[in-house]
Structure formats: structure tokens, C-alpha cells
Chain A
Amino acid sequence: MESRREPGRPTRERNESQVPKGALRDDGSVDEVAAVGLSDELAVALYEHMVLARRVDERLVAAQRARKIAAHSSGQGDEAVAIGAVAGMRDDDWVFLSSREVAAANWRGMPLFVSAHHAFATGAVAGHGRNPSVPPAFRRARIASVSPLAGTQITHAVGVGWAARLRGADVAALVFFGDGATSRSDFHTGLNFAGVSRAPLVAICRNNGWATSTPVARQTTSQGFAVKALAYGLKGVQVDGSDVVAVLSAVREARARASRGEGGTLVEAVTTPRWTEANANDQAQDPLVRMRRHLEFRGVWTAERDAQNNASLTAEIDDAFAAAEGAAPPNDESLFDHVYAELPWHLQQQRRDLIRSTGARR
């Protein structure tokens, strides 16, 4: 679990010559090529969803510290990766999240109450309190079910893209993972299968410099992660992961390549995690600060609108979390549902045993 603040951690050391490609400039302007097709409406939506992501994450961090939930992997500082990437895909594409991108599911229309009930492991949503350490599955929006195991979902995403390609459908898969996952076989196997099958895949490696407490230099000695794509016949690109426009632009380009039958892309999004003590107040690399500056530059965002947005978000989150916090846990008997499509004899028997024992406990 990567939930706790690690006070002893240093800031990431970044070689200035390796600063990845960005689009948003310090004065609030944006690279015109990267911003092609970025309407005022879309720019505002990207920002609002990043703010929603931050506010929800803050609540979950607080709930975890108050021991109301067992664990939470903070996505603060990674909002531009989650939102920029999902916004760069098409609506019928599939999305495989890892621990920190629940906001991407909200972008796809998953209501806040689903995230809240899922986090509090209640019986009110499909998750039945079974897998709360990662974002919920949400089939209606093709948000896949994932485990908290690093990188195991990469081959699943390849399989979805491969299946679509076999069936001649222009449907792609987006998969997120952290830099630590690149040390596991699933990463190498997944990228190799993607290369061989030419599956329409957009793989996002969040490089925030750390896997739990292990620095990136202990995951790899290669110059970043994007270069690893080359060996598998994929395209590799590195973007500034604190820059939502840069992420959106890179993913759109990768998605277009996939449609053209040119195969998969590995996008390395370099971010600054805000869950380290040293970076918690880093304004320069805060993806929200950078996008808001751009909205102000465009003239589509004011202090008044910001206040309104914050107030309505707060109310919406309050409602969802209050309802989830007070909601009942799943029924005891639900433990046995969905293990198999139908309940086999041994689980029928174990369910009877559980009901009998909980009856005795009461």
C-alpha cells in the first residue's frame, strides 16, 4: 500500500536535459500543435475533473488516516495523467486502471456514489466490498475490473485490443500502471504480445520516481521507460505528466496510430507525486495550478467560477461520502455470490454454515 506519507523522502532529482515534452507554458499559454482541437469546453472539463479527482482523493486520504478505510493509494499529482489519457481515447475504448486513476472512471460517467460506496466497502454497489484497494469496475463505461497487483492488467488490455483487431472493430485499450510494474514479467510479456499482435494499445507508465519506497534508479538503469517500447516494436513517447494538454495530445496521437493499424504506444508520463512531504506544496509541478493558469489565459475561468465550482463539488462529495460512510456492509450470504456462475454444492453447504454461525453470534 502506498497510502502513507513518507516524510524522509527526497524530492525527485531530475536532469534538466531530460525534461519531457510539455504543452502548457509558465505564462499560461499553450503549444498550438498540442492544443489542436482543444475547445474551451473541453479545456474546462479537463480542469474540473482534475479538481474533482483532487478533492475526492483528499477525502480518501483523510478517511484512511482516520482508519475509516483500510488503505488508499493517493493519486494527487497524477490527475493530469488519468484525465488527459482517458480524454484522449474514444468512448467505446476499454480502460484498465491501476490504483491511482479512479478519476478516469468518473470522466467516463461513473457516478461519485459508486466510488464512495466502493471505497467504504458497502453492500450498495456491485463491488460488494470485495476489492476496495483499487478503483471499481464499471462495465457500462468499459472500465475493467483490476487487481492491486502491479501490471497484471497489461496483458488483459492487450487481449481486449487484440480481440477487437481480430474482429475488425476500431476499438482500443488504455492501460495505466506505475514505474514499478515495468520490472514485472507482465509488462514485458504484454508489450511483446502487443507488438506481435499489433493490438491497438495505449499503455501509460506513470513515472513519479517511486514504487512505494524504491526510487526509479532501482527499477531500471535505462534512460526512462519510454525507450523500452522499442524492443517490442511499439512506439515509445515521454510526456510531462503534470501537463494535461501534453498527455491528451500524446494519447490522441497514440490512439490515431492504433486506428491506422500501426499498433501500440507506450507513453511514459513523468509526474511529481504530491504524497511526499517535500512535494506536497510544489506549485510549479501541480497539474491543477498549471491548467487553471491556462484557463485564465484563455479567459474562460474566473475566481468567481472557481468558487462556484468548489462549492458545488464540495456539496456533491459530501453527499456521496456521507451516504457511503453510513451504509450497511454487504450481506453475509453475499460472500458466496459470483465465485461461480451458479452456487456449487460445497458453497451451498458453507453458506449454510456461515448463516448458522452468525445466527449463534447474534
Chain B
Amino acid sequence: MTERTMVQAINDALRCEMGRDDRIVVLGEDVGKIGGVFRVTQGLWDEFGEARVIDTPLSENGIVGTAIGMAMYGLLPICEIQFADFIYPAYDQIVSELAKLRWRSGGEYSAKMVLRAPVGGGIRGGLYHSQSPESLFIHVAGLKVVCPSNPYDAKGLLLAAIRDPDPVLFFEPKRLYRSQRSEVPDEPYTVPLESAHVARSGKDVTVLAWGAMLHEALIAATQASEQGVDPEVIDLRTLWPIDIDTVVESVQKTGRLVVVHEAPKTCGFGAELVALVNEKAFVHLQAPPARVCGFDTPFPYALEMEYLPLSHRILPVLLETAKF
């Protein structure tokens, strides 16, 4: 066990798995000698050499496109997209090629890879370094989407994502990169995909959250409990495919649902979560499901803390939903 930040935990996961599996190559912009702009890949270039840790030209389209070829050949690429906001030039490759390769070839080919990208706001990144585009990928058949909320899960989920046979988008909440520390085992371990974690047990209202906003939800839950409302907070961890059983069981118990996410509200993943709960636990609901989300605007620089669904925005919704 070593106390690690999320950056260190992810770095440790990469080092563990690269040592174990020589098919793995890490590629991206500035991932080599300087170890990435957030230093997540620091030291890997020295340890594994430039044939396995590759600084690419500045093109997300090229990174994902060539990684598809590498994966078809038999390598296991782990690509770093410098910011999730930069992933859109690669969207065609991800949606039209990567996600559909196994299906369109009837299983003859697949391109196993992990696409790592820092997501979310709270670091004064402004509108091009703060977005949370998870729902754009959840909507695409063939992809899996993961978003850890702490260093322990980050290592275990990343190892599970690398060992999973399907392409995985691994979204790292950059606000937590250095603000979260926890004890992380030195040896490899996995946190299974498709397993949500009940971060706080409660009986009055179910709160679904992930990534950086999980911590805001937990703060709001503690504050709510001081006012006599006992929320249950679930960290989804894997967004898709979702651990539906944990969600439904919780709502069956509490009869109330609040979803929290940073991404804009309309057509965000919260919309799907509310629909799923309506389909599977409608008769248990005692209040309208509620969403506390980013606004349907571009991500702001100057008004960042007003945009984010922080605890002070979550708390009143918890209370209203619990007392409906």
C-alpha cells in the first residue's frame, strides 16, 4: 500500500500492465519524455523505451486511426487524448471505425484499445479544457465508458479496462488528479467494469453521480443528513454498460432519484438514467426524478463555479425530492 494521487495511481496501473503485457503501447501527444501535460505517463518512456511510449504528431484523428491499425495487427494501444475536449477530430474514427469494427466484420477483426482523456471542469480550463462528453460515446453501440472518482478505483478500473476485450473510453476527472489521495495497493488488482459502488448508504433518496461530482454529492448528502434526510449516494464508476441492478435496487428502497453530472442537462447521461429508472422502478417512485447538471451552455471560464453542479446546488434538490 502506498498513498497515491489519482495521477500516480493511473501511472502505476500503466506501469504494472506494461510490464505484464508487452503488447501494450502508449501513444499520444507529449506522452513520452515529459510524461504528458498532466504527467500521467511520467517515467514510462525511460522505463519502456520509445518503441512502447510514443510521442505522436498533433492529431487525435491520427492517434486513434493508427491505433486501430496497431490493434488489428495485435498490439494493445493505450492512447492519451490530451483533453477530452480535443477528442472530436477523432470522433469519426471512434464512432465509424473503432466502435463498429467487430460488428461489421462479423467478429473477424476488433481493435482493442483504451482511450484515456482528462474530463471535467474546476481547474480554470475554460470552454475548451473542461468538457464532459461521455454521453456522446454512451450513445454509440460498441463502446464502453468508465469514469473513476478516486485513486484506488482509478487503478483498478484502468487495469480492468485494459483487460476487457472491447474498446474503452477512460475519462479521468482532472479536478481530482491531485486533490484526491488514497491508499493504493502496489500490486495489480482490478475493479470490475459494470460494478457501481454504494459510496454512502441511506434510505431516503438515491443519488447517482460519478467522477468529480461524486464528492459534491457526498458533501450535499452529509448536509442533508443534518436536516433529517438520509441519502444513498451511488458512484456509477462504469457509465456504460451501467450496473443497472445496483441502481434499481437502491431506487426500490428509497423511492426517489436525483442524478448529478457536469455535462449539459439536455440529452446528458442523466436523461437516460431517469428513463431507465422510470422503466424499471416506476411503481416504487414517490417523487419526480430530478437532475442537477451543467447548464445547456458552453463551459464557462469566468463563471465556472456557477456552472458546475456543486453541493450547494445539489442539497436543495435532495431535500425537495426527499420531502415531495
Contacts and interface: CB of A to CB of B under 8 A. Distances in A.
A163 B108 contact: no
Contacts of B103: 130, 337-339
Contact of B68 (A126, A156, A337): A156
B142 A340 contact: yes
Contacts of B100: 147
B25 interface: yes
B106 A127 contact: yes
Interface stretch (A56-64, A73-81, A188-196): A188-196
Contacts of A159: 65-73
B261 to A, nearest CB: 19
A59 to B, nearest CB: 23
B241 interface: yes
Contact of B105 (A137, A162, A166): A137
A127 B101 CA distance: 11
Contacts of B228: none
A130 B72 contact: no
Nearest to B245: A345
Contact of B57 (A160, A193, A341, A342): A193
Interface of A: 94, 125-128, 130-131, 137-139, 144-145, 147, 149, 152-164, 166-167, 173, 185-186, 189-190, 192-193, 196-197, 337-342, 344-346
Interface stretch (B29-37, B88-96, B216-224, B252-260): B88-96
Interface of B: 25, 51-52, 56-57, 59, 61-62, 64-75, 89, 92-93, 96-97, 100-110, 141-142, 144, 165-166, 194, 241, 244
B62 A163 contact: no
A147 B65 CA distance: 13
A152 B96 contact: yes
Given A149-B96, A185-B89, A186-B61, A127 B105 contact: yes
Given A193-B66, A346-B241, A138 B108 contact: yes
Contacts of B52: 166
29 contacts: A126-B108, A128-B106, A130-B104, A137-B105, A137-B108, A137-B109, A139-B108, A147-B96, A152-B65, A156-B68, A159-B65, A159-B66, A160-B70, A160-B72, A162-B69, A163-B70, A166-B25, A185-B89, A189-B59, A193-B66, A337-B106, A337-B107, A339-B102, A339-B141, A340-B144, A340-B241, A341-B165, A342-B165, A345-B241
> Shortest 10 CB-CB distances between A and B: which pairs?
A159-B69, A155-B65, A126-B106, A159-B66, A145-B105, A341-B165, A163-B73, A344-B241, A156-B69, A137-B105
A130 B100 CA distance: 10
A338 B165 CA distance: 11
Nearest to B241: A344
A155 B61 contact: yes
Contacts of A138: 108
A161 B141 CA distance: 28
A345 B71 CA distance: 26
Given A139-B109, A156-B65, A338 B96 contact: no
A177 to B, nearest CB: 13
Q: Which of B89, B105, B166 has the most C-beta atoms of chain A within 10 angstroms of its own C-beta?
A: B105
Given A155-B62, A159-B67, A166-B51, A130 B194 contact: no
Given A147-B100, A338-B102, 16 more contacts: A126-B107, A149-B96, A152-B92, A155-B93, A156-B68, A159-B69, A162-B69, A163-B75, A189-B61, A192-B59, A338-B107, A339-B103, A339-B142, A340-B142, A344-B194, A344-B241
A5 to B, nearest CB: 28
A197 B67 CA distance: 13
A192 B97 contact: no
Contact of A193 (B51, B62, B68, B106): B62
B105 A126 contact: yes
A339 B107 CA distance: 9
B82 to A, nearest CB: 16
Contacts of B144: 340
Contacts of A186: 61, 65
Contact of A163 (B61, B65, B69, B194): B69
B106 A144 contact: no
A86 B138 CA distance: 39
B69 A125 contact: no
A155 B57 CA distance: 13
Contacts of A173: 69
A200 B139 CA distance: 36
A31 to B, nearest CB: 34
Contacts of A160: 69-70, 72-73
Contacts of A130: 103-104, 106
A192 B68 contact: no
Contact of A196 (B57, B93, B165): B57
A138 B141 CA distance: 23
B56 A193 contact: yes
A161 B73 CA distance: 9
A45 B194 CA distance: 53
Contacts of B96: 147, 149, 152
Contact of B244 (A154, A155, A342, A345): A345
A144 B28 CA distance: 24
Given A138-B108, A159-B68, A192-B57, A341 B89 contact: no
Nearest to A196: B57
Contact of A145 (B65, B70, B109, B141): B109
B101 A145 contact: yes
A158 B65 contact: yes
